[in-house]
Structure 1
Amino acid sequence: MSNSWKRPKIKILKTKSEWFWDIIGYSFYLGSLIFLIYNWNRLPDEVPAHYNALGEVDRWGSKMELLIFPIVGAFIAVLMQLLEKFPESHNYPERLNKKNAKEFYLISRKLVNQLKNICLITFVLILIESVSIALGWENRFGVWFLPIAILSAFIPIILGIIKQKKIR
């Protein structure tokens, strides 16, 4: 792409799928905050702090470490929300032009939206798992969590790449 052509700023309304993903992601996030606050005084001093690839606890730490999940989740949500606002700043192939910019922007923005909310949901699930184990509740995720978490992030990326390849 030549440096003389500036990417257009295009106002694209948020799609129903973006609203859906945001409602799901932020609902999970807010629900996890309520869940953590509700269970905070019941938690023992040591809680699961790290898991191996099989989903087994391989390090225990202070319950204060559980606050990492909502803090990092909030940081990711804010950062990725900003990226969603400015799709013209994303990375695109050289075939991006004024005619196809809106289509590229929308695919890229939807991808960022999905990844933001998948990250929020993933952090929430790890938090719930850690609290559940600490309180002696049944271990729910185990060996399947890591492959599912990885797939849930890579599937939208692969689909986004396929959709972008179809743009002329």
Structure 2
Amino acid sequence: MHVNQYAYFALFSRSTPATEMAAVLGLEPDETTVRGSRRTEPKAIPVSHCWKIVCREPRLRVDEQIARIMQRLAPHTTAIAALASRLNTDGEGYGAVLEVVRYFNNQDAQQHDRSDPAAKGPNPLGWHLDRDVLDFLQATGAALDVDEYDMTPDYAED
């Protein structure tokens, strides 16, 4: 099975730009979006400002990716919690989220053969959240969102 996955922690706001979030936190994001910005591809227009700390390192389980993110965020927990609470006043869908995105059967992704005991790398299919991550999510009021996509080609239409 081919698996491509990544995780990120994000702060979203209708009115507070990512640059201001970074200044408040004293932590530069890995990625940002600007509400209402226009790009040539894709044609989506972000509905919110977004500040993200991301881990896209291949060959890591999701919990290992999250641990890398948490190493960077943990020293800023109090500031993140205060900012997330303020951003949450923008309305539903604003505030903080820990996002996990996984694509299964993506031919460009890492391959994991469960039947081969000599297969190199960790099993990317299982993961967990430890108490420190759960405490961080509680402290910051962050949601956990897990998106999983089956990229198996649909041969029925051929």
TM over 0.5: no
Bigger Rg, structure 1 or 2: 1
TM category (shorter chain) comes to under 0.3
Name the structure where helix makes up a greater proportion of residues: 1
Structure (1/2) with the larger strand percentage: 2
Normalising by structure 1, what TM-score? 0.24
